[in-house]
Amino acid sequence: MRQRIRVAVIGGGQNVEHDVSRASAASARAALDPAKYEAVAFTIGRDGVWCDGDGRAFGVSPAGSLAGAMQALSTCDIVLPLLHGPLGEDGAIAALCELAGLPYVGSPPRAGALAMDKWATKLLAEALGVRTAPGTLVTSADEVAFERPVVVKPVAAGSSFGVRLVRSEAELRPAILAALEHDDRALVEHLVIGREIDIAVLDDPQGGPRTGPPLEIIVHNGLFDTVAKYSGGAKFVVPAPLSDHESALLTTAALRVYRALGCRGVARVDFFLTESGPILNEVNTMPGMTEASQLPKIFAAAGLSYPDLLDHLLQAATRIVST
């Protein structure tokens, strides 16, 4: 009997997306083909302590538990790190896997770090000729004057935590302070009016990165914030009703940014489609990965089921290591 592939599925993390990450990890473990894969659960607590699938800590401190977790990780064939946000998606876990010589799914450390940094992504995109919203980087609520409706967000955070739409000068300072609770830098960007379109990119080691059908996010109040993301207040339309020209513009821009960042495995590239063309919003190198999340929905619409998507990611990562 062929031995099953041991997959270390890591969830949790030390940031505000902890619960989102745990949901992604639990969903993936349940969907992996048990005839082919043995899913081994690891959870990183909000305090940095690593635990096994039964909630038993590998040690009493973050460092001690990491040492214990590494022993368990070394028995696995490949790592599926479904961690969102800082100290996970930002390249930290990829770097750990690189140092330990463990094959893993997802982008390498540099790509994760660059994509998590919205300011760095903005600068890279503009250098490529991919438009972004005009914006200012701030580290203090006293550094920027109000000029027009703006969106304030942390530079390195996800799931729209700390994101606020500001329509009046009185709202600006509280919004910046709220963003700075999640990071030591914030972005103040001009409000962009346009359709929210997501482009998912998936690597095929033999054919290069490819995109799935565009997905449109429709929100009744116009802002896809944390509440809308997780309360069911948003509607996903896939494939999005776009012209061939619009689809080509979005796909070309997504692939250009994906390659320039050095992404690998999978990513979701989010745009606003305006009357004057696409404007990049952000890049997620490990987006939400429950079956109901945007990226799995995109590839399901292309005929790749959720279990098959996970299988593709694991097989692709294994082939990259073996070449």
The model's pLDDT over 246-264, given as tens digits with 9 standing for 90+, comes to: 999 999 999 999 999 999 9
pLDDT of 239 > 60? The answer is: yes
For 113-131+193-322, CATH gives 3.30.470.20
Residues 6 or more apart whose CB falls under 8 angstroms from that of 255 comprise: 201, 209, 211
Class of domain 5-104: alpha beta
pLDDT, tens digit (0-9, with 9 covering 90-100), for 189-227: 999 999 999 999 999 877 789 999 999 999 876 555 545
pLDDT confidence of residue 323:
44
Answer for the pair 69, 91: CB distance below 8 angstroms, yes or no. Answer: no
Q: Angle, to 10 degrees, between the axis of helix 18-31 and the axis of helix 306-322?
A: 90
Which residues, listed in sequence order, are joined to residue 198 by a DSSP beta bridge?
A: 215, 270
CB 78 within 8 A of CB 104: yes
* Positions of CATH 3.40.50.20 in the chain: 5-104
State the pTM of this model. Answer: 0.91
Encode pLDDT of 267-321 as tens digits.
999 999 999 999 999 999 999 999 999 999 999 999 999 999 999 999 999 875 5
CA 113 to CA 167: how far, in whole Å? Answer: 31
Q: How far is CA 282 from the centre of its chain?
A: 9
Q: pLDDT, tens digit, for every residue of 137-188?
A: 999 988 777 788 999 999 988 667 889 999 999 999 999 999 999 999 999 9
CATH 3.30.1490.20 domain position(s) in the chain: 135-190
**CATH fold label, 135-190:** Dna Ligase; domain 1 (3.30.1490)
Residue 228, pLDDT > 60, answer: no
